Amino acid sequence: MKIVTIVGARPQFIKAAPVSRALREAGHTEFLVHTGQHYDENMSQVFFEELNIPTADYNLSVCNLAHGAMTGRMLEKIEDVLLEIRPDCVLVYGDTNSTLAGALAAKKLYLKLAHVEAGLRSFNMEMPEEQNRVVADRLSDLLFCPTETAVSNLKKEGIANSPYGETVINVGDVMYDALLFYSDIAEKRASILDRLQIERGQYVLSTIHRAENTDVPARLDSIMLALREIANEIAVILPLHPRTMKILLESTQSVRGIKIIDPVSYLEMILLEKKCQAIITDSGGLQKEAYFFHKPCITVRDETEWIELVDAGVNCVVGGDKNNIVEAFKNLQSETLDFSQKFYGNGKAGEKIVEVLVHHEPPGETNRKLHCKGGG
């Protein structure tokens, strides 16, 4: 098989790694298309090196644009690549502009489309991520879900298995695959704890990057005040995306007491997660990784896609209010939490995805033709 994998942002590099490894081990040909959405070297190239992902076959260098312009430019360039390769299937991951552009390009050329991490819902259509994932799910021929909750979400929207075979499959979470594979490697290779001079269990790890937090000054100030108060009790480590750093530098809110560091590599991030006391984040992926490492998580958003973690009592969704964040941190410290449930599969999601790709052929597939021009 010829597979085109489209990635562009840090979480997608991580998600693609187990699937790419399984594809290549099974003897299939994969063409990796990097849209360029994350353009900082620490947020992009280092992941290809650390995760041992082959260098991208195509780098589209589309970055630093508004949502519409970025998605449109990606769509145009991805279409050119797909016309050149004519793959058997296009793989998209997650919920970024790269996901949306890849999905649109594939379906406008009548190509088989598979969405990894399908079915997630925050039920907040103001989130760009929610818009992207809903459209990608609607367009996809194969929907690879990470949890039963995701399968249920799709069923409620009228997306379910067809009479011709499975199209919605709970394969487990590819990020769990990646974490299992790279955890021991991180222990051996990452030295960030020594560089930061911090001890295991003696710090809280935090990440803040979503627009709902960074683009609302009062909300960002409230979150920073909470982190400062928590930092009076225990060290708070905050790796910051360059964009968020710029916003903070322009803000009137002091970050005194918070240990702000540059974005870190994936292996370093794994080690920081594994050795921390708790995690405070607005990242979807980090909420799950907190669970994988048995760490309590405070989510500074108004909703989460990972509701099974909230129901299990290990993830507390608190929004951006300072008092709520601080109170949640104190409460989680005193509670006994249960991390025993297997929400995200057995670490073999990548292998399952490849197996389905090989054997899946939707009705009429052999009669489809690649439409190079015209249409719609």
Catalytic residue set: 209
CA separation for the pair 87, 96 (Å, rounded): 22
Which position has the token pair 């909230």? 310
Q: Is 33 exposed, middle or buried (0-12, 13-18, 19+ CB in 10 A)?
A: buried
Q: What is the secondary structure of 283-301 as a DSSP string?
A: -HHHHHHHHHTT--EEE-S
DSSP letter assigned to residue 127: S
The encoded tokens of residue 188 equal 């051996």
Cα separation, 160 vs 47, in Å, equals 34
Query: The tokens 């709902």 sit on which residue?
Result: 212
How far apart CA 82 and CA 263 sit, in angstroms, is: 32
Amino acid identity at 208: I
* Nearest alpha-carbon partner for 19 in 358, 360, 285: 358
Nearest to 209 by CA among 237, 239, 164, 189: 239
**What are the tokens at 187?**
């222990």
